[in-house]
Amino acid sequence: MQRYQLQTATDHQLLELIGKDDREAFTELYNRYWDKLFTVAMHRLADEHEAEEVVQEVFLSLWQRRHTLKLTHTINTYLSVAVKYRIINHLDKQYRKKEHINSLAVSLPQGEDSTSSWLSEKELRAQLEKSINQLPPKCRIVFLLSRDEQKTNAEIAAELNIAEKTVEAHMTRALGALRQNLNLSVPLLLYLLHK
């Protein structure tokens, strides 16, 4: 296809061409969605370099999966959800552990046993993070949206384009798995999750 024809092609037509290794079609799709996805990532991450990295990862993944990709929704929905997943994973890896350690340091009890209580809580939190990372991917994403972004089940359902009942099932599964893995009572688990 000529350049001017690519600009008027539908997303579906572009995807078909990309599936046949058409780099120009891929560039057209990239140009069509880059700004929108970058804006979403920038809003969440507040860092230009990290936002660019997240969007690049999404497009790289799309190109790598071009021969096997089968979409059940529009490419717009696919890319938007993919960017949100990448943002959550990025925040999970880069920031949350540092923020937890910083918040623990600020809220330490004063006294002789403050170091040992900080270490035991730090150890417990490390186990909690490990257990969260072992949750199935969708289950973990739902859980993190609820815990870290304080989103309601309805908001999570809308953002991930899934049923609210599915969100509830993921949350029940996540809390059950964490409670079992850490062998904690529900009140103590909730304390750790919301502190």
Domains and CATH numbers, the chain: 3-93 (1.10.1740.10), 95-104+116-194 (1.10.10.10)
Listed in sequence order, the DSSP H helices in the chain are 3-8, 11-18, 23-45, 48-64, 75-94, 96-106, 114-133, 137-148, 153-160, 164-182, 186-194
Q: Are 38 and 30 in contact (CB under 8 A)?
A: no
Q: Are 69 and 63 in contact (CB under 8 A)?
A: no
Cα–Cα distance between 120 and 15 in angstroms, integer?
Answer: 52
What radius of gyration do the chain's Cα atoms show?
21
Q: Hey, what's the torsion of the CAs at 163, 166, 170, 173, to 10 degrees?
A: 160
Q: What integer is the mean pLDDT of 44-51?
A: 87
Cα–Cα distance between 150 and 113 in angstroms, integer?
Answer: 33
More confident residue, 37 or 87: 37
Say if pTM beats, i.e. exceeds, 0.75: no
The pLDDT value given to residue 180: 77
The pLDDT value given to residue 187: 54
The pLDDT value given to residue 90: 77
110 phi and psi angles, rounded to 5 deg: -90, 145
Q: What confidence tier does 111 reach under pLDDT thresholds 50, 70, 90?
A: very low
**DSSP letters for 47-83:** -HHHHHHHHHHHHHHHHHTTTT---SS-HHHHHHHHH
Handedness of CA 62, 12, 37, 154 (dihedral sign): negative
How many helices (H) does the chain have, and how many strands (E)? 11, 0
Cα–Cα distance between 15 and 29 in angstroms, integer?
Answer: 8
Q: What confidence tier does 117 reach under pLDDT thresholds 50, 70, 90?
A: very low
